[in-house]
Amino acid sequence: MKRAASRAAVPLVLLAGLAGLAVGGGSAAHEGATGVVAERMHGMKSMAEDVKALAEMRDGKRSFSADDAKTRVASLHRTCHQAQELFADGKNEHASRALPAVWEHPDAFAAAMADFEVLSQTLR
């Protein structure tokens, strides 16, 4: 069991980094956000909550629940697909808390999201 937990630690750490990659600043909602900005914020908040819960299970700070873990991993996988569209080139016309690097280096962000998809798949 300890070995399986150790193997899961690497993807969880990387997923945590990806969840933080797209959004800078605190987790408070951007006042008045609508449309694609609100959708992105909701997705990033959801990812952060899922990664936090999985990390807490891994670290023994939260009781492990296979059902909860499966649900959260499925949510992460789903969100990675949504993020690829929501952060697509040309969707940055509105005020956003997304880090400038998302827009300045779209290929790197797309690659990170592809890695995210692979990592979330390994946790399934």
Across 8-22, 40-54, 99-113, least confident range: 8-22
Q: What does the buried/exposed string (b/e) look like for 75-107 if buried means 16 or more CB atoms within 10 Å of the residue's CB?
A: bbbebbebbeebbeeebbeeebbbbeebeeeee
pLDDT at residue 23, as a whole number: 46
Q: What is the pLDDT of residues 67-115, one digit of tens each?
A: 999 999 999 988 887 887 888 776 676 667 778 888 888 888 888 888 8
pTM of the model: 0.68
Inter-helix orientation angle 2-21/106-122, to 10°: 150
pLDDT at residue 6, as a whole number: 43
pLDDT at residue 25, as a whole number: 46
Task: Enumerate residues 6+ apart whose C-beta is below 8 A from 71.
Answer: none
Q: What is the pLDDT of residues 25-40, one digit of tens each?
A: 444 445 677 888 888 8
